């Protein structure tokens, strides 16, 4: 499941991701090495059902797999990771 590779092949989606996150191409490269980056990619998919469906169809990934991965990376429900 490589969301970043998919985004790179989808210029409109990549533009939307960059706009929503406030990243640039340069900050994207640096951020990709950060621990929370993969969660940000999954958040992007989870926050917009048409984007989730487009990703799943293009990569033959079950939406449930994205949900499970998102839960695994985001921690227990109610956990505010921004408070640490």
Is residue 79 very low, low, confident or very high in pLDDT (cuts 50, 70, 90)? Answer: low
For 11-60, the pLDDT digits (tens) are: 999 999 999 999 998 999 899 889 889 999 999 999 999 999 999 999 99
Does position 75 have pLDDT exceeding 70, yes or no? yes
DSSP 8-state class, residue 9: T
Which residue in this structure is represented by tokens 């998102």?
70
pTM: 0.83
């Amino acid at each position: 499941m490589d969301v970043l590779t998919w985004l790179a092949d989808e210029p409109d989606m990549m533009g939307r991701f960059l706009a929503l996150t406030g990243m640039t191409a340069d900050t994207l490269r640096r951020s990709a090495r950060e621990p929370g980056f993969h969660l940000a990619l999954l958040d992007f998919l989870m926050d917009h059902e048409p984007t989730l469906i487009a990703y799943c169809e293009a990569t033959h990934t079950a939406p449930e797999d994205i949900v499970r991965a998102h839960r695994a990376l985001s921690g227990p429900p109610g956990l505010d990771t921004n408070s640490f």
